[in-house]
Amino acid sequence: MSAPTHKTPAPDAVKPGNFIRSVIEEDLSRGTYAQRRWGGEPGDGPSHAAGMPDPAKVRTRFPPEPNGYLHIGHAKSIWLNFSLAQEYGGVCHLRFDDTNPEKEEQEYVDSIRDTVRWLGWDHHFADDPARPGVKQPHEYFASDYFDFMYRAAEYLIEAGHAYVDEQTPEQMRANRGDFGTPGVNSPFRVRSPAENLARFREMAQGQHADGAMVLRAKIDMASPNINLRDPAIYRIRHATHHNTGDNWCIYPMYTYAHPIEDALEQITHSICTLEFEDQRPFYDWLLERLAEGGLLTAPPPRQYEFGRLNVGHVITSKRKLRQLVEEGHVSGWDDPRMPTLAGLRRRGYTPEALRLFAERSGVTKNGDAWTDYAALDAALRDTLDPVVPRAMAVLEPLKLVITNWDEAFGPGHLEPCTAPVHPHHPDMGQRQFSMGKEVWIERTDYEETPPKGFFRLFPPSVDASGNAVPGSKVRLKYGYVIECTGAIKDAAGNIVSVSATVLKDTKSGTPGADSAKVKGVITWVGAADGLPATVNLYDRLFTEEQPDAGGRDFLTVLNPNSLSTAQAIVEPSLATAQPEDRFQFERHGFFVADRRDHHARGKLVFNRIAGLKDSWVR
Ligand code: ATP
Ligand code: MG
């Protein structure tokens, strides 16, 4: 069976309606960026600026800090930034915001890069000069701009816009004030530029210990916006950086570094989540000061905020996700229950589904909106249902023995059966399997005393008025109609197998198929050609919709039943399934061949991505 082809709309066809598009369209019609040219001093901007597309174009960026794996919230940011750039013929930068050496690692850089590529924006990537035919993301590192950031800091000091503060962290916190109280000026605020410059150089040369002093912007300690109360812009950290090694022992603060990164890369629209709204005045302040000093010449980028994606029963704090991994609550960053994109991928979610989910969740100014997890599954079903092959699988196998089989068809007879790979795509071909004297059925498809409305297998009985009730007649899907005659039990009373008789001439697709009226059709797998498979079934990782609401310890609401594993029997067409091939197991939902364990040690391993409909009950 060949790998499924996804026929969902190409990303190019996705035209999100959102307020950021209106901003971009207005900028384009006004020619805001028409005068842009790549310029500045060598080494200031991205080193490969010469090979980059027209600077006048829309330029967005996705700026993760490489301090963990990307999660489902990032999928939204990635979708938004890349799709807007694509829609307007621009470019989106993948930028690693690596200003915090103690928390950042190469492993995270690699996983982020892989994930962005997997999400399918590669047609949007640049040619890799070193490897013909290979596309790379437009990739940047904040750490590439450390020299510029340092020079910009010296400029701010010389212009009287920054000072070295030697208050203790406690003093600084106390003097910052709060929403109701203005801050108090640091006694070091009045130092001369020359003295500040000398101190700052000492900081950079490693003459002071971590935390001994910081460089702060000199703005306004009484500002109603606490972010403008002389924010710290450089701190001392005697730490080795994954890119710059031991070149630096001072590192820029995120709020200082980020606007500079955007400006040097000539980003036009700097899109971020709402929690950065209060940072925007500092973002603009800094870029204005650097423009005054002649350090930046292009029209400045502008920041726009949208409401972050919150998904029910999911946690999207990298710190908390790391805790789940490090404390062993899950098997790793790519545990299929994790909301990391590595986990969602292994679980079987597709780039198409994630993109559709992000698009449907909208782009708004509402910061408290929660999206139901069911919306992700809906996006998955809507994109997979039209394209993935079908297969039969028995998740809780119970043997069914057809007692008159040999008599009806001859001993050992195996009846070839066929079924469409996809009910609406005859071009996808037919699956082949066989029915014999013994088949596997779902344990739940047999009831000794059937409840009302149960139309699957039950044995003959006698009702309250003493009338004989025959055993049920059921069709084995794509096979014959059978009539249930009873069950065989072990000494302890457990059902070992169900017994039935076959009704000859009732095979699906033959003229006699309608000769027996049945109320139930069940799925099954032949005992002769069924294959054993391990099937992982997942439930929500947390039992509460907002696991960390109100400061609750999210570990207290971990769902103990988030993973169950079944030893299933699957139809023979699945023998050739490759890791990451996706299927609809009839009646059971959408499954993927595990990208790590499938075929490893000669085993078939499937993960349930989602059920056929939203069956999860709160
Ligand atoms: P942390 O959990 O450490 O705060 P983060 O999730 O904010 O990390 P970053 O690496 O800072 O991760 O984020 C990169 C980009 O992804 C930022 O532009 C951020 O606004 C965006 N982003 C992060 N979380 C979400 C989310 N839930 N919805 C939409 N965008 C998000
Ligand atoms: Mg963050």
Closest C-alpha among 314, 260, 385 to residue 75: 314
Closest C-alpha among 380, 254, 360, 351 to residue 309: 360
For the 311-392+530-618 domain, the top CATH level (class) is mainly beta
Atom of ligand 1 nearest to the CA of 309: 28
Q: Which residues are catalytic?
A: 65, 308, 318
User: Contact, 405 vs 502, CB < 8 A?
Assistant: yes
Q: What pLDDT is attached to residue 89?
A: 83
The C-alpha atoms of residue 352 and residue 28 are separated, in whole angstroms, by 29
Longest distance between any two alpha carbons in the chain, whole Å? 107
The identity of residue 357, as a single letter, is: F
Of 100, 262, 273, the one to substitute when testing ligand 1's pocket (max ligand atoms within 8 A of C-beta) is 273
What pLDDT, in 10s, does the model give residues 6-36?
Answer: 344 444 444 445 889 999 999 888 888 876 6
For the 395-523 domain, the top CATH level (class) is mainly beta
Which residue ranges make up each domain of the chain? Answer: 154-252, 311-392+530-618, 395-523
Of all ligands present, the nearest one to the C-alpha of 316 is 1
Closest C-alpha among 146, 327, 352, 351 to residue 249: 146
Is any atom of ligand 1 closer than 6 Å to the C-beta of 272?
yes
Q: What pLDDT is attached to residue 8?
A: 41
Atom of ligand 1 nearest to the CA of 321: 2
Q: Give the residue ranges of the chain where pLDDT is below 70.
A: 1-17, 35-56, 122-131, 133-137, 615-618
Residue nearest to atom 14 of ligand 1 (CA): 64
CA angle 55, 60, 62 (to 5 degrees): 140
Of 18, 74, 308, the one to substitute when testing ligand 1's pocket (max ligand atoms within 8 A of C-beta) is 74
The answer to whether 154-252 and 311-392+530-618 have equal CATH topology is no
Helices (H), 463-618: none
> Looking up tokens 């990307």, which residue turns up?
70
Report the CATH superfamily, name and number, of domain 154-252: Glutamyl-tRNA Synthetase; Domain 3 (3.90.800.10)
Q: What pLDDT is attached to residue 18?
A: 81
Is any atom of ligand 1 closer than 6 Å to the C-beta of 339?
no
Atom of ligand 1 nearest to the CA of 271: 18
Residue nearest to atom 10 of ligand 1 (CA): 64
Residue nearest to atom 8 of ligand 1 (CA): 318
Atom of ligand 1 nearest to the CA of 97: 10
The C-alpha atoms of residue 313 and residue 342 are separated, in whole angstroms, by 18
Q: Measured between alpha carbons, how far is residue 395 from residues 490, 567, 569, 587 in Å?
A: 22, 7, 7, 11
Number of H helices, E strands in the chain: 13, 31
Q: What pLDDT is attached to residue 50?
A: 45
Check: pTM over 0.85? Answer yes or no: yes
3-state SS assignment for residue 130? coil
What pLDDT, in 10s, does the model give residues 298-332?
Answer: 889 999 999 999 999 999 999 999 999 999 999 99
Is any atom of ligand 1 closer than 6 Å to the C-beta of 321?
no
